[in-house]
Amino acid sequence: MKDYKIYAVGAAVFIIVIGGVFWLGLYFGYNNQPYILRFTGISSKEPVEIAGEADFAPFWKAWALLNENFVDNSTSSKKVVTNQDRVWGAVSGLTDSLGDPYTVFMPPEKKTRFDEDIAGNFGGLGMEVGVRDGMITVISPLPDSPAKKAGIMSGDVIAKVGATSTASMSLDEAIKYMRGPKGTKVHLALLREKVSQPIEIDVVRDTIILPTIETKELTGGVYQISLFNFSAQSPNLFRDALEKFLRSGSDKLILDLRGNPGGYLEASVDIASWFLPEGKVIVKEERGKNKVETIYRSKGYDIFTKLNRKVQMIVLVDQGSASAAEILAGALSENGVAKLVGQKTFGKGSVQELIPVTGDTSLKVTVARWLTPNGNSISHSGITPDTLVAITAEDVKKGIDPQKDKAVKMLLGK
């Protein structure tokens, strides 16, 4: 009987020890397995092939630690953050890590807003904005727009929208804050070069109508074509404007690209082709990590050579000349067709594509960059005119245009 009791106690101890070892092993096994394997209820955990090495363990560890330890200490009521929201936040962080303000992730809410904007269902201020040196910067206010009427200028930095600082805003967020129903007011704080204090202004949103082209005969037989954007209609409208110039009998042309934020690459190629022989390089496009180069060449309309007419030409540019406007200015300058007068251009020489991620999310990705015919990157430095001429807010208020005046004097040999 005594032996039986000893045996029973020994068996119990054995079971406890074995059980302890089992649970201890289970515990250590769980804690030593990859973090991704600890999660249930998460779909699409299968690895995807990634070029180069990337250790995702820190991501899953951080996810697990946040799940286990985070306590919401916020006193304000706010939207409950779901696991899917965390995924969208992680993808946004991934695009932010690239340091390119034009590469952004659009989760469902932002994607919906983007689609509405494309459809034109919004009121706005009428200005093109971009990012320069990490700051939300006005590329150009559009003619007759609320922004233009309020005195906003190319190069102005938008420091605040309402009471909200733009310091940590993405470009898309800043645009979201500035857009809204027609007739509503938005308060802006602007930083302007050579102005010591922020400029505080109120601008009333309106439906924005984009002008395209304007022609004008100036003093001394100088003809001016002002091109405000590169839309799908721009090539045809420019052809008509050029026909008017030819009929005027003038041999002195100013092409005004100031405040032109760009648009379709094809439109800039078509317009440049009126001034260049067939095959001349207009712009080079470097695409992808392997920098596959595509060269866009003149279609050879070359109207002045074909008509045996010699034309003096000056292109006006400023901080608001961007993208396709910089392509055209660079092509005409580096091919020896025109001189550039004004201020250094904005420096927006990249190409974005919208790529679906899921049915209701997208990535807007920079996929290529543009180089001038001589191989200069438009994005890195913009384009510096042959003749630099500044224009101030005072000049604008007084209706003075020293840049155009300089171009006229140069064409008239003064």
Active-site residues: which are they? 323, 334, 348
For residue 219, give both structure tokens. 């003093």
Distances (CA, A) of 306 to 253, 276, 352: 17, 11, 37
Give the span between the Cα atoms of 388 and 127, in whole angstroms.
Answer: 24
Residues found in the chain:
414
Alpha-carbon torsion 236, 238, 241, 247, what sign?
negative
Give the span between the Cα atoms of 268 and 282, in whole angstroms.
Answer: 9
Give the span between the Cα atoms of 323 and 274, in whole angstroms.
Answer: 19
Give the span between the Cα atoms of 248 and 187, in whole angstroms.
Answer: 45
With contact defined as beta carbons under 8 Å apart, do 343 and 389 qualify?
A: yes
Task: Name the strand (E) or helix (H) holding 357.
Answer: strand 350-358
Say which residue the tokens 């009121």 belong to.
123
With contact defined as beta carbons under 8 Å apart, do 341 and 316 qualify?
A: yes
**Which of 316, 391, 397 is CA-nearest to residue 155?**
391
DSSP state of 333: H
Query: In whole angstroms, how large is the CA radius of gyration of the chain?
Result: 30
CA angle in degrees (0–180, nearest 5) for 324-330-332: 105
With contact defined as beta carbons under 8 Å apart, do 127 and 154 qualify?
A: no
**DSSP bridge partners of 191:** 157
Within 13 Å, how many C-alpha atoms sit on residue 351's CB side?
17
Alpha-carbon torsion 155, 127, 205, 164, what sign?
negative
For residue 374, give both structure tokens. 């001589």
Give the span between the Cα atoms of 112 and 14, in whole angstroms.
Answer: 64
